[in-house]
Chains A and B, each alone.
Chain A
């Protein structure tokens, strides 16, 4: 299969609703059950080690009309919360054993409660991921939180989740994350080789595939990528920031590149590429995951890191990508992204790095206005 064909396959997979994606996975793994993962980060290793397919819950795009969730969530709530709830209210999650949410924001927290109440047959877990990376008890706490999830999930599926299975899953996801890092590095080093839309399509497909299948797919892609002719363009090199939870429509990502920018790095689907380095696999897998969460996580708007503020993280990302500007793509009404925008731009302004903000929501169909904004932004930089 060619690079383009693989990407097309990923695109087709992403077009499916979660239950349909699970159905597709069942073709080669009959009887496989799913477990939904609400962004940003979740320990997918535990879900996989329980024999389930972890499936990223990124909303439904335009694929499902929101009829019920609008009455539960007000107009000022982000689309992803509404469409995630809609899936459960409409009983569109058949084949799923449950879902995991975490302490990313006030909306996600309340959403977890609502899903639990409205889908009583599902096992709904809410993880309080640590916000204090530096306390002497942070590790003990984090490990215990992961273990609590393991115990609850094992109880729910009615079989143990042994250490050996966890270690196997950890190795697999390490391999996946390593390949994703390589793919990102490849794009950074070979501008024009992979478009941003292609890359996020591939990453998202990984949130609905078993890692056993996904890792080889990435390896094939990496090989094919190096044979692909790059098309560097006369454009502004940018980093995309603020898209860590609800994902911008692929059309918006395409518009950014079509309108004069070239994406060199981004935080799209960052939860699925969460660790900067491999998680050590020797010893206790949950302990390693806990250590990695505290010390090897990517910077993120949903994680307070006293030792290294995310404003430094963004600056670092811009520099190592060789980017000239930042495009912020917060989901409409997304508080963590909209709050962080303020210190982020203060930092960028201090270092003379231009930036542009483009908000989006699920029911956006046309991007003409965004296109004009990006063009104006890019032109102002190119002809400066």
Chain B
């Protein structure tokens, strides 16, 4: 245990670096590893597989046909977190990708060109490429390139961006018709008829997982928060986005809820001491995940909410897949209930709710060079939160995949200076009260 240091003592005593070992972490690793095992097996077998993107996805439909979903974004993420991304990025740059292109794409392409996909690799050659264009325009490029590399058929799911209060009937019909197109392609691929009852069953599992995930996030409203909704969310984002619709994912969230509820009941937080509650915006720097996390933990800063954890869905605001309206609810999820398909100012409103309802002290924006979907215009976001709302805001810059953009010393200086000033602010406020 650390020596107890209150934020009012004035001196920063760093908290020790934790070794996070809990049931949630282990179980997440187990079910994700099992899925990756299936991917590996499929490289040599005949199981059909399909590429799909994370944001607002329709994995339920693939599952309904027993088509193995493959997520190149998860592949890229794993390369980065294992510190293996750079050689692949460079390989992609050799064939013409620019240093300014999203490095997720480059790492994945470099990995593919190096034989990572196919019989000698870990990932099966996709039988189908399902481009769920939900917000990110890079998705289209990425999957066009994949389709060319594998000579695989590409199904385009063009999901109209949210540009009015709600999608129009034509938006919905357009999406439904494209889902129908996807179903027909899946039928042709597998030789199986679409079974809506099976889809209902899958949506039931999805809804159960979504309810669990929402409950976990809800629990972070407690002080102290039982987990870090940025750094620990990654353990839950795999199951909710990639394994959604399976019994394993639904069960996993039952475990997570039980564990976190118990922590809350016992008054235990994720850190030995929770000193600052923050909301984070933007993806983390995966190549330096641990280092980055430690820079916050040493200050006792816990993310009680994060926008990144909602790229797949904003379930904490109530949306669930609906077994009674499976396809309609899949369309709604893709159109409305995820971060990526909504405007920048919708995101400001989302963060504002997080700050208010999750009782946060500050906002941390991690500006990612690769990902303009997140980052383009975050200077305006900082302006809005600091100047207009008076929320202390820290803006940091690096990358989620390319280690060349992470400068540890500079990061540390900025983070330390920010929390020092927050601490100082507290002291002043405390003094003013007494």
Provide the B91-109 mask, 1 if CB < 8 A to any CB of A, else 0.
0000111101110010000
The answer, yes or no, to whether A138 is at the interface (CB within 8 Å) is yes
- Chain A, range 101-133, C-beta contacts under 8 Å to B: 103-107, 109-114, 116-118, 125-128, 130-132
The answer, yes or no, to whether B258 is at the interface (CB within 8 Å) is no
Choose one: B136, B160, B380; the contact of A118 (CB below 8 Å): B380
- A71-B377 contact, Cβ under 8 Å, with A136-B177, A335-B100, A335-B138: no
Q: Tell me what chain A mostly uses at the interface: helix, strand, loop, or mixed.
A: helix
Choose one: A104, A105, A132; the contact of B157 (CB below 8 Å): A132
- Chain B, range 349-388, C-beta contacts under 8 Å to A: 367, 369, 371-373, 375-380, 383-384
Least Cβ distance of B365 to chain A in Å? Answer: 11
Instruction: Indicate if the CB atoms of B168 and A131 lie closer than 8 Å.
Output: no
The answer, yes or no, to whether B35 is at the interface (CB within 8 Å) is no
Instruction: Choose among A110, A118, A125, A126 the residue with the greatest number of B CB atoms under 10 Å from its CB.
Output: A110
Instruction: Indicate if the CB atoms of A114 and B377 lie closer than 8 Å.
Output: yes
Instruction: Indicate if the CB atoms of B161 and A141 lie closer than 8 Å.
Output: no
Choose one: B171, B177, B376; the contact of A110 (CB below 8 Å): B376
The answer, yes or no, to whether B114 is at the interface (CB within 8 Å) is no
Which residues of B lie under 8 Å from residue A136 when comparing CB positions? 177
Number of interface residues of A (CB under 8 A): 55
CA distance A304 to B139 in the complex (A): 11
Least Cβ distance of A319 to chain B in Å? Answer: 21
Least Cβ distance of A41 to chain B in Å? Answer: 15
- A304-B156 contact, Cβ under 8 Å, with A76-B369, A135-B178, A335-B137: yes
- A140-B173 contact, Cβ under 8 Å, with A148-B168, A335-B101: yes
- A117-B345 contact, Cβ under 8 Å, with A73-B376, A110-B376, A304-B144: yes
- A74-B160 contact, Cβ under 8 Å, with A114-B344, A340-B141, A343-B148: no
- Chain A, range 271-301, C-beta contacts under 8 Å to B: none
Complex: chain B residue closest to A341, CB-CB: B96
Least Cβ distance of A268 to chain B in Å? Answer: 21
Instruction: Indicate if the CB atoms of B156 and A111 lie closer than 8 Å.
Output: no
The answer, yes or no, to whether A260 is at the interface (CB within 8 Å) is no
CA distance A95 to B375 in the complex (A): 31
Instruction: Indicate if the CB atoms of B174 and A135 lie closer than 8 Å.
Output: yes
Instruction: Indicate if the CB atoms of B145 and A343 lie closer than 8 Å.
Output: yes
The answer, yes or no, to whether A72 is at the interface (CB within 8 Å) is yes
Instruction: Indicate if the CB atoms of B380 and A114 lie closer than 8 Å.
Output: yes
Complex: chain B residue closest to A71, CB-CB: B379
Which residues of B lie under 8 Å from residue A132 when comparing CB positions? 156-158, 174, 178
Which residues of B lie under 8 Å from residue A117 when comparing CB positions? 344-345, 380, 384
- A113-B377 contact, Cβ under 8 Å, with A76-B100, A105-B137, A138-B174: yes
Least Cβ distance of A335 to chain B in Å? Answer: 6
Instruction: Indicate if the CB atoms of B377 and A111 lie closer than 8 Å.
Output: yes
- A128-B160 contact, Cβ under 8 Å, with A74-B379, A76-B100, A140-B174: yes
Which residues of B lie under 8 Å from residue A107 when comparing CB positions? 372, 376
Provide the A341-352 mask, 1 if CB < 8 A to any CB of B, else 0.
111011000000
Instruction: Indicate if the CB atoms of B378 and A74 lie closer than 8 Å.
Output: yes
CA distance A136 to B156 in the complex (A): 13
Instruction: Indicate if the CB atoms of B141 and A339 lie closer than 8 Å.
Output: yes
Which residues of B lie under 8 Å from residue A306 when comparing CB positions? 154, 156
The answer, yes or no, to whether A338 is at the interface (CB within 8 Å) is yes
CA distance A181 to B25 in the complex (A): 62
The answer, yes or no, to whether B19 is at the interface (CB within 8 Å) is no
The answer, yes or no, to whether B254 is at the interface (CB within 8 Å) is no
Instruction: Indicate if the CB atoms of B177 and A77 lie closer than 8 Å.
Output: no
CA distance A295 to B299 in the complex (A): 58
Complex: chain A residue closest to B138, CB-CB: A335
CA distance A105 to B181 in the complex (A): 25
CA distance A136 to B170 in the complex (A): 12
The answer, yes or no, to whether A183 is at the interface (CB within 8 Å) is no
Instruction: Indicate if the CB atoms of B377 and A110 lie closer than 8 Å.
Output: yes
Choose one: A71, A128, A333, A342; the contact of B96 (CB below 8 Å): A342
Given A72-B379, A145-B160, A335-B101, 13 more pairs with CB closer than 8 A: A76-B372, A109-B344, A113-B345, A117-B384, A126-B163, A128-B160, A144-B171, A304-B140, A336-B137, A338-B97, A339-B141, A343-B144, A346-B96
| 4 closest residue pairs by CB, A with B | A113-B344, A144-B170, A141-B174, A137-B177
Residue positions of A touching B, CB distance < 8 A: 70-74, 76-77, 81, 103-107, 109-114, 116-118, 125-128, 130-132, 135-138, 140-141, 144-145, 148, 302, 304, 306, 309, 330, 332-333, 335-336, 338-343, 345-346
Sample 26 A-B pairs with CB under 8 A, ordered by A number.
A76-B100, A76-B372, A103-B161, A105-B372, A107-B376, A109-B344, A117-B384, A125-B163, A128-B161, A130-B174, A135-B174, A141-B160, A141-B174, A144-B170, A144-B171, A302-B137, A304-B156, A306-B156, A335-B137, A335-B372, A336-B137, A338-B98, A338-B101, A339-B105, A340-B141, A343-B145
